[in-house]
Amino acid sequence: MSEHVDQPGREAGGRDAAEGLTRRRALQVLAAGAAGAAALPAAACADGPESGMPSPEDAAALHGATSGGNPRAAGTPTDPDLVSPFVWWDLLLTEDELATLAAICDVIIPEDEHSPGAAALGAHAFIDEWVSAPYDGNRNDLTLVRGGLVWLDIESAERFGGRFTDLTLDQKHAICDDICWVENATPEYRVAARFFDRVRDLTSTAFWTTAEGMADLGFVGNRPLPRFDGPPPEVLERLGLA
């Protein structure tokens, strides 16, 4: 996971825009992002009115996002300096969006006796870097994630009278239970379930590629061993290779 540097240009804006957004508009943004992610690249990635899909800049207007300024590491995007990594593009999510994203990351992978929660390990920062990347698929994810975060706050306000970050854990689970599986979601929640599915995948990627996440899995690779005697017999037997 790349190092995330302070960005003076990032603001905690977006509350007024989000508060003025209707459930219908949030679902439209979500549907556009989901459709873009599923379409063929040539059709999905066209910007402008012909595409029928709002650009990430239009989605950003919902939150009053501003671009940051990241220092450049030595090297180039195709030959980066991996010793001192930095993000090569502006990070686009606002502080409000990151707070909501951190809350849902912790619903997906909460803290337990084995490891910290996903947000403590920076899963929301990883997702910010991912959706801010200037590539076609990532731009579609930006629209999907932004629309989903707006939808979460609207749904939270309608059900419980507050933002998603203000809810109790049981209240957060009540919303997420309705959108946790696309196949099982009722029609009114199916589009939001696509948002949750994408965030779950990105959260898992972020979490289990950290040292703490790998330890949680019991992964023992990436370290020198004085001697390797081959896979344990029980593993070979389970794989039918004994």
Amino acid (1-letter code) at residue 24: R
Question: Model confidence over 42-61: pLDDT tens digits?
Answer: 333 333 333 333 344 444 44
Reply yes or no on whether the pLDDT at 123 is more than 90: yes
Structure confidence at residue 145 (pLDDT): 97
Higher pLDDT, 62 or 79: 79
Reply yes or no on whether the pLDDT at 26 is more than 90: no
- Top-confidence range, 43-47, 55-59, 83-87, 154-158: 154-158
- Mean of the pLDDT values across residues 122-142? 94
Of the listed ranges 21-25, 55-59, 208-212, the one predicted with least confidence: 55-59
Among 108, 120, 100, which residue's Cα sits nearest to residue 177? 108
The chain-wide mean pLDDT, for the chain, equals: 77
Higher pLDDT, 228 or 236: 236
pTM of the complete model:
0.65
Reply yes or no on whether the pLDDT at 125 is more than 90: yes
3-state secondary structure string across 92-111: CCCHHHHHHHHHHHHHHCCC
Cβ partners under 8 Å of residue 105, min gap 6: 117, 118, 119, 123, 124, 127, 199, 203, 206
Higher pLDDT, 61 or 33: 33
Distances (CA, A) of 120 to 71, 116, 239: 24, 6, 35
Reply yes or no on whether the pLDDT at 9 is more than 50: no
Domain ranges for the chain, please list them.
Answer: 15-238
Strands 75-76 and 79-80: antiparallel
